Chain A
Amino acid sequence: MTTNPTAVAMSGGVDSSVAAALLARDERPLVGFSMKLIDRLAGESDRYGRCCSPDDFRDARSVADRLGFPHYILDMEDEFRRKVLQPFAEDYAKGRTPSPCLRCNTFVKFDSLWDRARAVGAASVATGHYAILERDPRSGRTQLHAAADPDKDQSYFLFDLSEEQRQRAEFPLGRMTKDGVRALARELGLATADKPESMDLCFVTEGESYRDVLARSGLAPSPAAGEIVDTRGNVLGSHAGVGQFTVGQRRGLGLASAGKLYVIGLDAVSRRVVVGDEAELYSDACTVERVRWIPFDRPNGSLTATVRIRSSHPGAPAVVTDRGDGSAGISFKEPQRAIAPGQAAVFYDGDLVLGGGWISGPTASCVAGSRRIDSSAFLERE
């Protein structure tokens, strides 16, 4: 191969298929990769997650064949387990709401996959993400923007890519709408044109829960019984382990008065599940750690931004103050419901992603509850 090809990460879904087709249309040399993330968990039966079943690999392969570039399946179970599944389990055990899709982007697709792709000569990695990357000629930095289609925008899930990672990433779908993508897939006769969207954890099979997956992987939280308390410390009941709860959970508390109570905090150290009423779900401030800034190294002083505290959050005006130690304080103009530790807070100036950070564990200023956050609230959707 004379020029270095672009590696296309292909899930077998319509988005990555069309991303590949757009690049192929520009006569770019391509090499396709599908990541096998979970086969070992499949055991003897035909149990596969939604994103990497043999059917998906077959679909990805048929798209690559049709577009005329080579396609390979990579065994990335070890990396996925280490970089996504284990932290996912640890987050639950520590009472945090995990962010597997974000971690998968930062540590698997644009790190492990990139390593393998570049080892065979690839110059960049393209995915079917809906987001826009643009090089800023003045700063020389690669800026991240929300996608043109606000319903499909996935920039939230990409904030934690480093400058180096953004430089070698390509998102061909950033300026397209989902309808446009489907129409193009049909026009090109791609086998994946009418595949349903994956809406849930990709590594969980229909009919089971993430807890089943963790148990099968030997990552189930060890039981650590503790108390259920209210915000004044009154003991209302007991539980088998904080890992069984999600902040914002309303059902399954086993309390007589559970109807109006929510899980508003989880403290793995004291093994306490804190419950409270709806008003206690709101907070106007929180701290984020491991902050990443995108258009600049660090802002001068505080800045105002629209901050999204989970992927389904539309964003709220806030003042973000970088503390210089890798953390930042966020003060919202209005109290926000459901600020969940473990989730990312991502800062926007209009469409431009300024940066983001990880909402830290329960602190006085940030013991946040939430309404029941079902998995679709924190997952990336294809």
Chain B
Amino acid sequence: MRHYLDHNATSPVRDEARHTVAAVYSHPAGNPSSMHAEGRAARALLETARRKVAILAGVPARDVVFTSGGSEAISAALRGVADRTPEGRRRIVVSSIEHSAVLEAARAAGAAGFEVVEVPCGPSGRIDAGAFASNIDGRTALACLQAANNETGVLQPVAEVGAVCGAAGVPFLVDAVQAAGKLALDRDGWNADLLALSAHKLGGPQGAGALIVREGTKLAPLIAGGAQERRRRGGTEALAQLAGFGAAAHAIVQELEAESSRLLSLRDRLESGLRNIAPGVRIHGESVPRLPNTTNAAFPGVSGETLVIALDLAGFAVSTGSACASGAVTPSHVIRAMGFDDEEARGAVRISLGWSTTSEAIDELLAALPQLLARATMARR
């Protein structure tokens, strides 16, 4: 029996989403852009999904632009804003702990002549709002900050940064991929012009996502084509996946509060267990508010790679912060950006819980760990 504890990588598809996807595929549905009955039926499914995602994001349905996922939403936002930036606004401000989808898109803009500022992060794992805001002024084209970090789960000061962006007239992109489904999204409270979401992180299908675009935001489409998505994104919509996204979003909205507190109590049980087993364990981000489902732990003298492999062999799916293109573990850029050295950055293991996680899984993990840790520690001597 395996236990899946890597929901921040991808969350297993919820029953609601699975049923919806199957239903779409089992009825003849047309192209949402077609005029005929089949096309209209497809359009209706699409708009239902849009409304459900809009409710999750707390925005009007017309602001939801469907994409193939979080990375597309982020690239569409960064490139789209950069393409339409007014004269004199040539700076893109991001945090140093953003997801690589943001960092790489920003660096690509940097190669195209934009000034890219990566705001550093302290050991707490939370970006300092003042340090971030000091880069926001009349020359800034775009600011981008994640709502929650994918590796540590640490919540970032999006409302504070958003307020400064609003005052300076700077478009503000919030990467809410990890936050969605785990805490209430507050687009207006954060003053975000753009919000990136992904379906598969919250129990929807892989290959679906959304960019929430506030009315009036100047944005060139990433994908040229037809009039789909109010001309914000060309290409026939992936109807079944998006319908599944809507179904997952709807399910989450119903239970968000109860589920968050359930996850939080599981995580507390996990972390107190970890401290009992390994008093020297470091839990990254523990001093600041975090997502209720994420534990990023470093065990002294044990590499994250070793622990992830040992746990996998023992039946538990967890992850290290990051993997390179080949699939090998590389030092986490997030833990490094928090000021820790390479060894510490290689030591971190991420355990992320979700809708399918049971308390038995936590108990079994805690029961298996002491032997695995002892063996891994011994091998280093």
Contacts and interface: CB of A to CB of B under 8 A. Distances in A.
Interface of A: 1, 5, 31, 36, 39, 52, 54, 57, 70, 72-75, 115-116, 118-121
Nearest to A72: B309
B133 interface: no
Contact of B305 (A54, A57, A74): A74
Residue of A5, A54, A119 with highest tally of chain B CB at under 10 A = A119
A118 B305 contact: no
B306 A120 contact: yes
B253 interface: no
Nearest to B308: A72
A70 B328 contact: no
Contacts of A36: 324, 326, 328
Given A1-B314, A54-B325, A70-B313, A75 B376 contact: no
A73 B326 contact: yes
Nearest to B314: A1
B380 interface: yes
* 8 nearest A-B pairs in the assembled complex, by CB-CB distance: A119-B379, A75-B328, A73-B328, A120-B310, A73-B327, A119-B376, A36-B328, A119-B306
Contacts, number: 57
25 contacts: A1-B313, A1-B314, A36-B326, A36-B328, A39-B324, A39-B325, A52-B326, A54-B326, A57-B326, A72-B309, A73-B326, A73-B328, A74-B305, A75-B305, A75-B324, A116-B379, A118-B375, A118-B379, A119-B303, A119-B306, A119-B375, A120-B310, A120-B375, A120-B376, A121-B372
Nearest to A117: B379
B330 interface: yes
B108 interface: no
Contact of A120 (B313, B326, B327, B329): B313
Interface string B294-322: 00000000110110011011100000000
A326 to B, nearest CB: 26
A351 B379 CA distance: 34
Contacts of B324: 36, 39, 75
A57 to B, nearest CB: 5
Nearest to B375: A121
Given A119-B379, A120-B376, A31 B313 contact: yes
B54 to A, nearest CB: 40
A31 B324 CA distance: 21
Interface in B362-378: 372, 375-376
A54 B327 CA distance: 9
Interface residues of B, number: 21
A75 B313 contact: no
Contact of B312 (A5, A70, A115, A119): A70
Nearest to A29: B313
B328 A121 contact: no
A52 B379 CA distance: 26
Contacts of A119: 302-303, 306, 310, 375-376, 379-380
A66 B327 CA distance: 19
Contacts of B376: 119-120
Contacts of A120: 306, 309-310, 313, 375-376
A277 B309 CA distance: 57
B380 A115 contact: yes
Contacts of B312: 70
Nearest to A35: B328
Nearest to A48: B326
Interface in B314-358: 314, 324-330
A119 B301 CA distance: 11
Given A118-B379, A119-B376, A57 B314 contact: no
Contacts of B330: 75
A362 B60 CA distance: 81
Contacts of B379: 115-116, 118-119
Contacts of B329: 74-75
A53 to B, nearest CB: 9
Contacts of B309: 31, 72, 120
A375 B111 CA distance: 40
A66 B305 CA distance: 24
A70 B310 CA distance: 11
A75 B309 CA distance: 13
Contacts of A70: 312-313
Residue of A70, A72, A118, A120 with highest tally of chain B CB at under 10 A = A120
A116 B302 CA distance: 10
A227 B377 CA distance: 53
Contacts of A115: 379-380
A70 B317 CA distance: 13
Contacts of B302: 119
Nearest to B331: A75
A31 B309 CA distance: 10
Contacts of B380: 115, 119
A39 B310 CA distance: 24
Nearest to A5: B313
Nearest to A1: B313
A205 B313 CA distance: 34
Contact of A39 (B313, B314, B328, B375): B328
B104 to A, nearest CB: 12
B278 to A, nearest CB: 15
A1 B312 CA distance: 10
A54 B310 CA distance: 23
Contacts of B310: 119-121
A116 B305 CA distance: 9
Nearest to A36: B328
Nearest to A53: B326
B378 to A, nearest CB: 8
Contacts of B325: 39, 54
A57 B306 contact: no
B375 to A, nearest CB: 6
Residue of B303, B328, B329, B330 with highest tally of chain A CB at under 10 A = B328
